Amino acid sequence: MPLRLVIFAEAPPDARAAAILVDRVLAELDGAEWVSDLLAVEELSANPEQWAARASVRTYGDGRAEWSLDGKMRFIDVHKLKDLAEELRRDDRSFRLTLGLFGGEPGKHAAKLGRKAIDVAEMLDRRSRGAGLPIDCAIIMQDMDGDASRRDGLHQARRSTSWRRFEVTVACPNQCHEAWILASFLTDDDTETRAIEAEAKSLGFDPRRQSERLHHDHGRVDSASAVLERIGASVDARSEMALRLTPLEHMRDRGQRNGLAEFLDEVGEYLVPRILSATR
């Protein structure tokens, strides 16, 4: 039975990074040569009639990687969850968003967003389950933007929706997903080495080893995206190369404070057992 994974994220590069990292963890499993090296990401169509059949972004099958319909991977924009929920509600009056407290406590920042994403995934799962295509796993990814309470809120949402039939993994880049790319960045030539050395001198720290200290605002010179651009790693191909080729042990070491190591652990804890059970 194929395994279906849906990703909630803020933008295509965020979803692409999460998907690549899932692939990396799976590729290290014994007998996991079937994991694909190439992922394509595009925004989920807003057509409600397509959600049930095309909401899955990636299907992992028995001995191979399969794709949904047109062969492309999709994600759901977290900024459009309200509109998506309203469309689902108009299409199916039985759909309800979960309201109220989170385990008896007020929701922290991002708790409502997380619970809404899980509700939407549950509805998509319900619609597609009848066709034999249930959603097995959902990733909810949101940049922290310097606000660590967002992570706590996403964890609150996961704990308060234990009734679901699929696994939920949260991804919390600190401060932004570009920090994950920097933590994964190994210089490929002398030009990149000199550029990194210049950035370390200007910033007062190595941006690869302390990427969480870089700002999330793209307009600032000390932002992670600005550093990536100055070292020539802002293009998609170079960023993806860093995520795809750098040893995971290296990523874990540099990603202790920017959320990367935690996400790799989450994939191992929540997604790997489901994937293994589905492919045996």
3-state secondary structure 43-70: ECCCCHHHHHHHCCCEEEECCEEECCCC
Over the stretch 197-231, which tens digit does the pLDDT of each residue have? Answer: 999 999 999 999 999 999 999 999 999 999 999 99
Asked if omega into 175 is within 30° of 0 (cis), the reply is yes
Tokens linked to 221: 């010179």
Q: What percent of the chain has pLDDT over 90?
A: 41
In degrees, rounded to 5, the angle at the alpha carbon of residue 93 between the alpha carbons of residues 87 and 97 is: 70
Q: What is the pLDDT of residue 237?
A: 85
| Distance from chain centroid for Cα 87 | 24
Cβ contact 131:53 at 8 Å: yes
Q: What is the pLDDT of residue 50?
A: 37
Cβ contact 135:125 at 8 Å: yes
* Inter-CA distances, 61 with 38, 39, 52, 275, Å: 16, 15, 19, 9
The secondary structure element, H or E, covering residue 166 is none
pLDDT at 100 over 80: yes
Whose tokens are 């009734």? That residue is 163
Burial 106-119 (b: 16+ CB within 10 A, else e): ebbbbbbbbbbbbb
User: pTM of the entire structure?
Assistant: 0.84
Average pLDDT of the segment spanning 175-195? 95
Q: What is the pLDDT of residue 221?
A: 96
Instruction: Identify the three-state secondary structure at position 39.
Output: coil
Please state the length of the chain. Answer: 280
Q: Give the separation between CA 94 and CA 254, rounded to whole angstroms.
A: 46
pLDDT at 273 over 60: yes
Over the stretch 6-46, which tens digit does the pLDDT of each residue have? Answer: 888 888 788 888 888 887 887 776 544 444 333 333 333 33
Q: Give the separation between CA 225 and CA 10, rounded to whole angstroms.
A: 15
Burial 230-255 (b: 16+ CB within 10 A, else e): bbebeeeebbbbbbbebebeebeebb
* Residue 78 pLDDT level (bands cut at 50, 70, 90): confident
The secondary structure element, H or E, covering residue 158 is helix 149-159
pLDDT at 255 over 90: yes
Q: Give the separation between CA 21 and CA 13, rounded to whole angstroms.
A: 12
Average pLDDT of the segment spanning 112-134? 82
